[in-house]
Chains A and B, each alone.
Chain A
Amino acid sequence: MSSNPDPDAALMLRVKQGDTGAFTELVEKYKQPVMNLAYRTVRDMTEAEDLAQNVFVQVYKSASRYKSTAKFSTWLFTIARNLCLNEIRRRSRHPAESLDAPHPEQEDQPLQQFEDKATVSPPDSVLQGELAQQIDRALADLPENQRSAILLCRQEELSYEEIAEVLGCSVSATKSLIHRGRETLKERLKAYLRTGEAKKPN
């Protein structure tokens, strides 16, 4: 196949043979992007953790069905997205308010705990934090397929073909989803990006 074989596929072949060390390596490598996708889909920290955990359990259980011709990350994100969609469907059937979900009266408070990786000066950190919140909110308002396409595209650095495979649509449809999502984000964030102030919702 390819001259540069997928190192994760090699790990997965070891998982198939019952190598728990290889599985741990995969969990360590992908827990962050899977958590990001899960949280930004379900908007609930506890459910996102459970979902991400289920994704990896599913990976382990389905290891025997994994074919090394498929790129591991594509396979993993397909499982992750399907579980997220199941959760959205379950919620629509049994709506219940989450304790973790943000409330309108708490708008000034941070939406969720995020990793503090960068050390920046206070004014920068305030601006960065506010921008992050604005993007987070704008992303949350996007339709699920547009949001997933944008997150997979920007955060996980998959190719368009791989994103299309995860989303179960053509490459042109994937690009169209990203384009429409970004148009909405531009509209929502235009004022903030140009002036540094968030555009207040009507």
Chain B
Amino acid sequence: MNEFDYKLLLEESWRRRLTPAEEATVRAWLAQHPESKADWELESQVSAALEKLPNVAVPGNFTARVLQAVEREAAAPRESQNRVPWFLRVLLPRAAVAAVIFGVGVFTYRAHTSAKRAELVQGVKVVADVSSLPSPEILQDFDTIRQMPATTTAGPDPELIALMK
């Protein structure tokens, strides 16, 4: 036997009485390891003392009281169940869950639809703005006008005015 086996037997001795064979194995180990002897004896004494720990007194009518309590417990839910019709008891929670799911579905659908509608309105608005723009023919002299010197636009052109007269 090695120290590991000794520890295993020690742990077993916490839980139950060792068999004579196991006891003999431990004794042989302790003969070779006298330093562990005192601790083993103390362990054995604690185990023996725990084994002798007296039982707490149980009242004579304990079982009868338990059975009465069980009957009371069994009767209580039966009474409360009798007050509510069975279809309400079964259907109400399911109907509530279904209503919540339906509500969430309707809300999501409406939100999605109004988002789509807003997008469509934006699109129509852009198209409407484009149709109100001036005709492209107006812009045919745009480049010529843009290249005219800036000074000519600063004041009236006397030459042009004379010609026009």
Q: Is B78 an interface residue (CB 8 A)?
A: no
Give the residues in chain A near B73, CB-CB below 8 Å: 57, 60-61
Mark each residue of chain A from 108 to 119: 1 if its CB lies under 8 Å from any CB of chain B, else 0.
Answer: 000011110100
CB neighbours (8 Å) of B52 from chain A are 128, 131-132
Say whether A153 contacts B46, CB under 8 Å.
no
Interface of chain B, main secondary structure = helix
A-facing residues in B84-127 (Cβ within 8 Å): none
Query: Are A115 and B46 within 8 A (Cβ)?
Result: no
Q: Chain A interface secondary structure, helix, strand, loop or mixed?
A: helix
Within 8 Å CB of B53, what residues of A?
132, 135-136, 139, 154-155
Q: Does chain A have a CB within 8 A of B3?
A: no
Residues in A with CB closer than 8 Å to B130 are none
Can you list 5 A-B contacts (CB < 8 A)?
A52-B62, A57-B73, A128-B52, A131-B49, A131-B52
Give 14 A-B pairs besides A131-B52, A157-B16 with Cβ atoms closer than 8 angstroms: A24-B63, A31-B62, A35-B56, A52-B58, A56-B69, A57-B66, A113-B56, A115-B56, A139-B53, A154-B47, A160-B11, A182-B43, A186-B43, A189-B49
Residues of B within 8 A of A (CB): 11, 14-16, 42-43, 45-47, 49-59, 62-63, 65-67, 69-70, 73
